[in-house]
Amino acid sequence: MKNDNMNLTIEEAYKSMINFLEKYYQRTNSDDIGGLLGDIMLIDEGRTADPASWHDWIESVERMKSENR
């Protein structure tokens, strides 16, 4: 599924993922999703609560971009 009319920055895509997971958490109250959200939430100056999560996100973006070439 590809929509060429919707280009997001890496940060916008990350915030979209958080929003998606928050909505899922609201429906399910899953402890696993709640824990994940706690790690990936953006705090002061755009840093994540768990610094490794941003690094993991960038690796994932790079992997998906290389697969789509």
- Per-position DSSP letters for 20-46, written without gaps between them: HHHHHHHHH--HHHHHHHHHH-B-GGG
Nearest by Cα to 8 from 51, 61, 66, 60: 61
Helix (H, G, I), strand (E, B) or coil at 6: coil
Q: What is the pLDDT of residues 13-60, one digit of tens each?
A: 999 999 999 999 999 999 999 999 999 999 987 789 998 999 999 999
Where in the chain are the domains? 10-67
Q: What is the pLDDT of residue 35?
A: 95
pTM value is 0.81
